[in-house]
Amino acid sequence: MPGTTPTLSRREREVMDVLYRRGEATVAEVLEELDDPPTYSAVRSILRVLEEKEHVAHREDGPRYVYAPAVARERARRAAMDHLVETFFGGSAEDALAALLRRSDLDLTEAQVKRLAREIRTAREGRR
């Protein structure tokens, strides 16, 4: 499946975050938004690698390239979650959810608990 390779480096994820946030960006625009930015040529290389991995596509705008995500954010999220659940939780969504709920910094509001309960019901009904 193009664009769903879950193995991205930290910098690649940061660049993807910029592109998802902005919708599209040039190398210079990506560079402006990165914390502790690398060189211009490093960002250009990262974008080239992301394009090879089919996460990013570009279009020409005069002399510059404008990059955009090649995969919808929701589809990329789903692929990343699938990879995480498979890799760290043996494919068990239940174990992954339980691990998230055990986080010490978790302080769910009543509205958030109700939303999670609805999501669980919807997931359960979708499998019948």
pLDDT, tens only, 100-117: 888 877 888 899 989 989
Instruction: Verify that 17 and 65 share a domain, yes or no.
Output: yes
Pairing mode, strands 56-61 and 64-69: antiparallel
- Above 70 in pLDDT, residue 48? yes
pLDDT, tens only, 6-26: 578 889 999 999 999 999 999
Q: Helix or strand or coil: residue 23?
A: coil
- Above 90 in pLDDT, residue 34? yes
- Above 80 in pLDDT, residue 128? no
Report the run of H or E that residue 80 belongs to, with start and end: helix 73-89
Residue range(s) defining the domain that contains residue 104: 73-126
Query: pTM for the whole thing?
Result: 0.68
Instruction: Verify that 111 and 87 share a domain, yes or no.
Output: yes
Cβ-in-10-Å burial (0-12, 13-18, 19+) of 27 comes to: buried
Q: What is the CATH number of the domain that holds 22?
A: 1.10.10.10
Q: Helix or strand or coil: residue 56?
A: strand
